[in-house]
Structure 1
Amino acid sequence: MCLAIPGKIKSIESQYDGMVRMAKVSFGGITKEASLEMLPDADVGDYVLVHVGVAISKVDEEEAQKTFKYLEEIGELGDLEDVDEYLPKTDN
């Protein structure tokens, strides 16, 4: 199954002589590059869903946290580190 994973944009730069906008996106402590070509209005601090290296939609922080919680519950966060910043806070 292919999933789109939520991540937070940490920085944006133009590559390939300014033709392509690329973002550094943090996924629970792991940072990867993602193309912003489908989201020309994406900005630093936005949460985006990334699928195979392409940011395909913007989501709000609450939705990103819900998705991370679900992925944690089904055991799909094994490769990610420091996911606590993305998970909803609980009052234990």
Structure 2
Amino acid sequence: MCLGIPGEVIEILTDKPDLAKVDVCGVKRAINIGLLTEDPPVPGEWVLIHVGFALSKIDEAEAAKALEFLESIGKAYDDEIAAFLESRID
């Protein structure tokens, strides 16, 4: 099962404007935000991430609910965190 996982944008990479550093449950990674060109995220905003790409912006309350749900379903959450850990954009 592939799910999106919420992450908080902590930095837009100035040398690579299509990339942002996000924090997902304490794990920090660069992700591609190129799909959100019409309304790009800024630090402090939350995005829904799937395989290294931000699919949409979400608010903090929606992010908290999504994380709570993902944690409650166990293996799918573990699989999504594992996929996030493996997705590196340099």
Same fold (TM over 0.5): yes
Higher normalized contact order (CA 8 Å, seq sep 6+, divided by chain length): 2
Deviates more, 1:39-48 or 1:4-13: 39-48
Higher helix share: 2
1:56 has 2:55 as partner:
yes
**Structure 1 or 2: larger strand share?**
1
Partner letter of residue 36 of structure 1?
Answer: I
Distance 1:77 1:46 in 2: 24
The one-character-per-residue Cα deviations of 1:38-90 (angstroms, maximum 9, x if unpaired) are 1122111110001111101000000000000001111125858xxxxxxxxxx
Larger radius of gyration: 1
Amino acid paired to 1:67 = A
User: What is the rounded CA distance, in whole Å, between the counterparts of 1:72 and 1:8 in structure 2?
Assistant: 17
Q: How many residues are paired up?
A: 77
Structure 2: gaps spanning 5 or more residues: 83-90
Between the aligned residues of both structures, percent identity stands at: 39
Length-normalised TM-score, structure 2: 0.76
For the aligned residues, what is the CA RMSD?
A: 1.9
